Structure formats: C-alpha cells, structure tokens
Amino acid sequence: MSDKLTLKRELSLTHVVTMGLSWMSPMIFFTSFGVLHEGSGGMLLAAYVLAFIAILFTALSYGQMARAFPVSGSAYTYTTKSMNPFIGFLVGWAILLDYLFSCIIAVLMFGINLHAQFTSVPASVWIVLCTLVVMIINIIGIKTSANVSKIFVLMQILFIAGFCALLVYRAFQGGITAGWNPLAVQEGVSFSTILAGASLVCFSFLGFDSITTMTEETKQPKKTIPRAILIIVLMAGLMYFVTAFLIQQMYPSFTSGNVDSAGFELMQVIGGPLLASIFTFVIIFSVLAQGMSSMTTVTRLMFVMGRTSLLPRMFASIHPKYRTPTFNIILMSIISLSAMFISLETAIKFVNFGALTAFLFVNLSVISHYIIREKQRSPKDLFVRLVCPLIGAGFVFYLIMLLDLSSLLLGAGWLIAGLIYYVIKKVKPATVNMAKVDEAV
C-alpha cells in the first residue's frame, strides 16, 4: 500500500445522498426507539422537531464550509483551515469519537435485533458476521458500497412508508387514542424532559455530515456535497416526523421490557409476528448499509488525519489495487468487535458528545472563515454566514448542556486522552501539513 496514491473521484449526487442516508439509517428511528422514547418522556415528535431545527442550521453551515474547502476531513478540516490546527485537532478528535462509535453501534444493533429474532444464536455471533461483511465490502471500494447501500436505503424507505400506511389505516378505523394534537404534552412530562430528549434524538440525524469525508471521491464536490446535505436532512426529518406523530397518537402509553429491543417489541404489538419478522429482515440490511457507510466515514477521517501527520503515516496508506484505506478498514473492524461488551445507551452517549461538539465548531467556522477572514459582510452574507450559524451554534451548545452528566464525563475523558496524545506527538500548529490537503482542491 502506498500513501502516494489518491482516492477515486467517482461518486454522483445519488451516490452521496445514498451514503449519507445509509450512515443515518432511517430505520434508526426503530432500532434506537426505546432509548429515545424513554429519554423524551414519550414526546418523540416534539423532541424530533427541536432537534431538526438545530440540525438544519448546522447542515447549512456544513454546506457553506464544503463550498469553501471541497476536501475530505469534515469538521476537522473546516476547523483547522478556518481557525487553527490545534482547535482543528480537538474537533477532529471529538468527531473521531462520533464516527468510531457509529461503527460500533451499527454492528451492535445488528446483533441485538437478530438475537431478538433468533434467541438461540448469541448476539456476539451476529456482531462478528456483520463486521466481516462490512469490512470486505469497504475494502473492495466505495462505489461498490454506495451501490449496495442504494438498494438497502430503498428497502428502509419502503418499510417506513408501509408502516405509516398501516397506522393511518388503523387510525381511520378508530385507533387514535391520544387525539390529533401533535404538540399535546403527556401528563407528568416537563418541557425540560423534551429538551433533554432532543439532545438524544440528534443521534437520529447524524450522518448528513459524514458525506463531507467523501469529498475527494465525489464529482463536482462544491456543488454536490451542499445539495446532498440538504436533501438528506429534509428527507430524514419528514420520515421521522410522520412516524413519531402516528406512534405517539396511537400508542401514547407504549412501554417495553427492554429499551434496546423496544423497536422489535413495538412491531409485535402493532403487527404481530409477521410485522416483527419483516422488520427484522429490513433491519438486517439497514444496519449493514449503516455499517458500510460508517466504516467509509471513519476510515476516510483517519486517512486525512494520517495524511496531515496527526495520526501515524500508516493511516494515510491506500491499497494499490482497490484504492481504499485498507489498513484503516481492518483496524476499525477490529475495534467494532467491542460491540460485544458495550451497551447501546453508552454508545449513543459517546456519539452524541462527539457529533454535537463538531457541529458547534462547524457553525463557528463559517463565521471565522467568511465573516472574519474573508470579510464577506454584505447583508446577505451577514444573514447566511453570521446569523444562521450563530443560531445553529446556540441550539447545539444548548443541546450539549442538556446531555446527562455521564455523557459529558465520557466526552471530557476522551478529549483529555486526545490532549495527552497531542502532547506526546508534539504536533506544532505551524508545521501541521495542511498543504497536502490543499493539493486535492
């Protein structure tokens, strides 16, 4: 493998949208249903609306930075080039936490849901199987992964549409038990609980940002990446709103025996064994798609951090035949096996801290780059590149403050570990090799 090779630029808008939706996995609504439903006090729709507002402004900021710096690296690259390398490293380290645990969550959910369906087979067996499949497909190439993911994403959208159609059919048969007021607050649920739920629900929107790590493999990235980000967020928001609304109105008092498998239990309540079996079938492929896209994202971030010497140079190596960062893929596959020892709730807390930290600094990067450095201060620029990012940063910062103490402690511990690594590496801001990133522009 050589670090002189480059990644293949072969992804279209459809490919990129597919990879983003695969990473996000629309079925995440159901696979994390128990944790999110409990965390929002049953008020999922309100939590999703609040999270969507925060995410939409942040998505616009990602689009702005993708136009300015059409290279891989996501929040790490944007913060490094618009602020300084040290802040960039910290943000990159935080988003690495998000991407690392997203891979773990994918294989963990695969194991949880298949074990719920086939109780005689341990979850660890399914985790190992999923990890091997995801690793092989990622090594072969990103376009192969994108084409396979396209089929799996379509399956998820069709399932969600069919599920919602079933609930609407039952609603017209008199199944509504909570009325039609989407903003009605359940008794005993405070607004602060809903806000805390929104900080968890942000997890369901994560993925739109992942496509920025694929910029160097995308055709016309300055145009394609911002468009894809907006499409992904709007599509996800529509699916989540409709599904959350219907479940909330028809099953307001739903409870589960196990928060990790609550989605499977919900299917059994609504459609019995048949719907639960169909659900499991779709989950198998949705999690595979999420795993493939998550693996692509984290290994490309490792690639960029290796290329800029923040990680050892071996992370910047590319396989001469497949033109993929094979070393990163194999290493991440080994790390993913830790899903056998981690709970879903803990993994989600890690992801949320890393993602929200990156979101905060991408919003601030827009202001730093366009308003402060480039001095673009027309009325339009002040609104799009100052007011909107400030609103996005404000929402995200508030959501960070709503994370529970364990999430903040876990995240703080990760950042401290990063600082120790940074000191050991003795990376000097003036010598961080961002020039090699510029060559790809």
Assigned domain for 254 exists: no
Residue 188 burial (C-beta neighbours within 10 Å; 0-12, 13-18, 19+) = exposed
Assigned domain for 1 exists: no
Q: Which string of DSSP letters, residue by residue, matches 264-302?
A: HHHHHHHHHHHHHHHHHHHHHHHHHHHHHHHHHHHHHHH
State the total domains in the chain: 1
Per-residue pLDDT of the chain (441 residues; tens, 9 = 90+): 444 566 677 788 888 888 888 878 888 888 778 877 777 777 888 888 888 887 899 999 998 998 888 877 678 888 988 998 889 888 888 888 888 888 888 888 888 878 877 888 898 999 999 899 889 888 887 777 777 778 888 999 999 999 999 888 887 776 555 555 555 555 666 777 777 777 778 778 877 887 887 888 888 888 888 999 999 999 999 999 999 888 888 877 777 777 767 888 888 888 888 888 888 888 888 878 888 878 888 888 888 888 877 788 888 888 888 788 889 999 999 998 988 888 777 777 777 788 888 889 999 999 999 999 988 989 988 999 999 999 999 988 887 887 778 888 888 898 999 899 888 876 454 444 444 444 444
Q: Which residues of 103-113 are buried (b: 16+ CB within 10 A; e: fewer)?
A: bbbbbbbbbbb
pLDDT digits (tens, 9 = 90+) for 184-207: 555 666 777 777 777 778 778 877
Assigned domain for 59 exists: yes
Assigned domain for 171 exists: no
Domain span including residue 380: 13-164+181-234+261-438
Assigned domain for 57 exists: yes
Q: Which amino acid is at 310?
A: L
Q: Which residues of 372-397 are buried (b: 16+ CB within 10 A; e: fewer)?
A: eeeeeeeeeeeebbbebbebbbebbb
pLDDT digits (tens, 9 = 90+) for 205-257: 877 887 887 888 888 888 888 999 999 999 999 999 999 888 888 877 777 77
Half-sphere exposure of 313 (CA within 13 A, CB side): 6
What is the Cα 337 distance to its own chain's centre? 19
Phi, psi (deg, nearest 5) at residue 86: -70, -45
Supply the CATH number for residue 146's domain: 1.20.1740.10
Nearest to 227 by CA among 435, 438, 16: 16
Assigned domain for 6 exists: no
Euclidean distance between CA atoms 40 and 56, whole angstroms: 20
Assigned domain for 252 exists: no
